[in-house]
Structure 1
Amino acid sequence: MNAPVVLIHGMWCTGADWARVRELMEPRGYRCHVPTLPAHEPTADQPLRVGERSLKDYLDYLERYIRDQQFPTPPILVGHSMGGLLAQQLAARIPVFAVVLLTPAAPRGINAAGLANLAPYARVLGRWGFWRRPHKFSREAAAAYAYNGLSPDRQKTCYERMVHESGRVAYEIGLWWADWAKASAVDAAAVRCPVYVVSCGADRLTPAFAVRKVAALYPQATHRHYPERGHWVIDDDETEEMIHGICGWLRPLEQRAARGQQAPR
């Protein structure tokens, strides 16, 4: 058995950012589906279209996308950063075989602000009206916070793909306590599938202390910590080893399912 895999990208990204993970998973028998979130397609008017989008828009889109695929079995969700938050929300709403959270953004109720990530978000959240404006890191900020640990050439390639993100989404995640719509909330008790969580010691966007709190929401979670890695785990020097570990975690779950046994919770 190989359950279908849905790869959910993070802020400022598109489905194209999953190329390395897809190249590593598909030879192992996993058919990857890589949606690009609404208003993230890299068109000339992309910043104008994304500014006031909500996490709820992204979540509704992903739920429709998964249902439209008519998968024969519940999918595996792999989410990076904001995509990790969306994966948690989806797993609470629809049948899911397993969830893999790579340096995930924290849901409502977890204070993820720390010295490591205060500066880049302060530049966004400190502008009046940011909640209805698109935003994007400068090349220097992206290299320091999103792509730290990568070579300069790889940083340049990643930045050339970077798109603008919704100011409203930044508000919903970063200032969750002020969001009456509770767009970043997750019903953790409703997530009953197996969960695999990756945190990184040099992550300057979703710091390890916050990711550990995410893992603690799920008693069934397996948590893997990489002390030296930064945020961009989907294409760094240890991505292949990480995917090997994830697939090794998935195989016994799939084997039990193939024998008609319930996956552990």
Structure 2
Amino acid sequence: MATPVLFIHGLWLHASSWEPWLHLFRDAGYDPQAPGWPGDGETVEATRADPEPIAGHGIDDVTEHFAAIIDKLPSPPILIGHSFGGMIAQKLLGQDRALAAIAIDAAQIKGVLPVPLSSLKATLPVFKNPANRNRTVSLTAEQFRFAFASAVSAEESEDLFEHWAIPAPGRPLFEAAAANFSPHSPAQVATGNENRGPLLLIAGGKDNTVPETVTRATLKQYRHSSAVTDILEFADRSHSLTIDSGWREVAEACLAWLRRQSL
């Protein structure tokens, strides 16, 4: 039986943006799928047309949504998440719901202290209005270029925006921002779990939204666990590294790491 692989997208991208990865992983012998977040429409266009069902969903909602999907799988999956999807993957791995996880440019978990200026600028469209906590927020093409596609051409950034960008709930960003001040933050991950499966953290060296310093600070949160925790940096890549023209290099690095873990 093929091992299930569950892809988890982050804010402002539709689940269908994983389509090339699904083909690659299926060809490699896995059984992949990429469900949307709660409230996502079936397509990019449908989600843009009616974003209201997305509003108000927070980190715990999304974690429980994917936990329910995992419960219906024939065996524990490998999780691959991008941005907030990377945080969700780490939470589920820490709950022993997965064989392994790969967190790509993952949103900061509780305990991570660096807040780079570029991260603040990338998320300003959400934080500029406290009411956005319970709303959906869309990025402009210019905001998308800074937050996601700063390492590719302006033409490619525009194309990625047109193809994949959707409105996103503001709540997860507010929850993550308050994580270190909340004793029961939904951004808490069981980083000390000794029995969990292996974890790979991937950083983009030119990522404005989740700079490499955030990913390295995340790695330090796992220092009290002897479980496998690896890090890989793509020095010249930005937050769009899962969807831009260099996606295959990242995907094949993920496959190579899984093979090294005998997965």
| TM-score normalized with structure 1 length | 0.87
Q: Which residue identity lines up with residue 6 of structure 2 in the other structure? A: V
Structure 2 residue 28 is the aligned partner of structure 1 residue 28: yes
Q: What RMSD over aligned residues (CA atoms) do the two structures have, in Å? A: 2.0
Distance in 2 (CA, whole Å) between partners of 1:2 and 1:211 is 31
Task: Write out aligned runs for 1:53-132 (5 A).
Answer: 53-69=57-73, 71=74, 73-132=75-134
Does residue 172 in structure 1 map to residue 172 in structure 2?
no
Which residue of 2 is the match for residue 259 of structure 1? none
Matches within 5 A, 1:3-42: 3-41=3-41, 42=46
Which of 244, 257, 262 is residue 252 of structure 2 equivalent to? 244
Cα distance between partner residues in 2 of 1:159 and 1:179: 34
The question of whether the paired residues in 2 share the 8 Å contact of 1:131 and 1:168 is answered with yes
Which residue of 2 is the match for residue 183 of structure 1? 186
Q: What is the deviation of 1:80? A: 0.4
Between 1:75-84 and 1:147-156, the stretch displaced more is 147-156
Mapped partners of 1:180, 1:14: distance in 2: 31
Distance 1:112 1:83, change over 3 A: farther
| 8 A contact 1:171–1:179 mirrored in 2 | no
Q: TM-score when scaled to structure 2? A: 0.88
Corresponding residue to 1:232 among 212, 237, 240: 240
Identity between Structure 1 and Structure 2 (%): 23
Unaligned runs of 5+ in 2: none
Decide which moves more: 31-40 or 156-165.
156-165
CA distance in 1, matches of 2:113, 2:50: 30
Aligned position for 2:220: 216
- Name the residue aligned to 2:51: 47
Contact 1:12 1:163 in 2 (8 A): yes
| CA shift in 2, pair 1:179/1:81, >3 Å | same
239-248 vs 55-64, greater mean Cα deviation: 239-248
* Alpha-carbon separation, structure 2, partners of 1:158 and 1:236: 7
Q: CA deviation at 1:136?
A: 1.6
Q: Distance in 1 between matches of 2:209 and 2:233?
A: 15
Measure how far apart 1:207 and its partner are. 0.7
Q: From the superposition, tell whether residues 137 and 44 of structure 1 become closer, same or farther in structure 2 (CA, over 3 Å).
A: closer
Query: Which piece of structure 1 moves more, 167-176 or 42-51?
Result: 42-51
